[in-house]
Amino acid sequence: MGAAIQVRELVKRYRGLPHVGRTLKSAVIGRLTGTYMAQTPPSAIEGVSFEVNPGEAVAIIGPNGSGKTTLLGLISGVLVPTSGEVFARGRVCVLLEAAVAFHPDLSGHENVLLQGMILGMTRREARSRMDDIVAFAQAEAYIDHPVRTLSLGQRARLGFSVAAHMSPDVFLIDEVLAVVDEEFHHACYQRLQELRRNGCAILFVSHIMAQVREVCERAILMDGGQVLADGPADKVIERYERLAAAHQLHH
């Protein structure tokens, strides 16, 4: 059985679409004052390679702007690489922030259906898994209420529950488990372990090291679009903390 995620010599440079974000006003002022504020491109990826096996959970850690989210975007296929290869096998599922796909005036039920289909379920699949999704999120009491009446945590529960019932082969999580309570956290971790036993590979981006330790045995440290370290989570986290301390001294 091959790797679930393969990333080889991956490069993503934002060529910068120079026309976007420029206004007539800034062009005129720039001409008059001789200054032109160039747009800083989002952080890029410079030659990243790694593999993730089915059933493995890997954390991606690193300071803000180190390219973590860009990397997830490339793996999910939203972004197109500049060069190199990226391959994810099977159904790739992104865990969305709770607020993203939920429309405030539609009911939880309608939103779950829509979000399931956005993530790639057919309508039939979404319908048939509805009961499981609602039960897992413990949302029976408020599933027919408009989503605007739900708390952030309740929305996050529903969001996680939809994604976790996708039976994904690759599961990408980008800093979204911060708002749910202790009890649901536990349920989430159990669900993630269950997915892993079924061969699902997990990439987990987080700044909360306790979460990272709990979910993943392996971590990848990124900085400036490159991989600084890749190995056992404890060691990589240690390295990251040294890096963060050095950064602080620097400032």
Partner 1 sequence: MPGILAETWRARELLLALTEHEIKTRYRRSFLGLLWSLLTPLYQVLVMTIVVRLLWKQPDPNYSVKLLCGLVPWAFFATALPTSCSAMLRARELVKRVRIPRQALPFSVVLSCAFHFLMSMAVLLVILLLIPVAFGPAFLFLPVLMLMELLMVAGLSLVVSVMHTFYTDVEYIITNLIWALYFLTPVIWHVGEPWVRDPHKQYLVMFNPMAVFCEGFRRAIIDKQMLDPVHLLAAAAVSIACFLFGLWYFRRHEWQLPEVI
In whole angstroms, how close is the CB of 33 to partner 1 at the nearest point?
23
Smaller CB distance to partner 1: residue 125 or 238? Answer: 125
In whole angstroms, how close is the CB of 73 to partner 1 at the nearest point?
7
Smaller CB distance to partner 1: residue 13 or 235? Answer: 13
Smaller CB distance to partner 1: residue 54 or 116? Answer: 116
In whole angstroms, how close is the CB of 62 to partner 1 at the nearest point?
19
Task: Kindly report the backbone phi and psi dihedral angles of residue 14, in degrees, each rounded to the nearest multiple of 5, phi listed first.
Answer: -80, 110
Which residues of this protein are in contact with partner 1, per CB under 8 A? 14, 17, 19-21, 42, 73, 76-80, 92, 94, 96-97, 99-101, 103, 105-106, 110, 113-114, 117-119, 122-123, 174
**Long-range contacts made by residues 247-250, C-beta under 8 angstroms, separation at least 24?**
247/63
In whole angstroms, how close is the CB of 76 to partner 1 at the nearest point?
5
Give the tokens for residue 104: 């405030």
Print burial letters for 32-69: b (CB count within 10 Å at least 16), e (below 16): eeeeeeeeeeebebbebebbbebebbbbbbbbeebbbb
Smaller CB distance to partner 1: residue 106 or 179? Answer: 106
In whole angstroms, how close is the CB of 17 to partner 1 at the nearest point?
6
Q: What is the Cα–Cα distance from 51 to 21, expressed in whole angstroms?
A: 36
Do residues 56 and 201 make contact, with C-beta atoms less than 8 angstroms apart? yes
Smaller CB distance to partner 1: residue 16 or 232? Answer: 16
Residue indicated by tokens 């800083």: 40
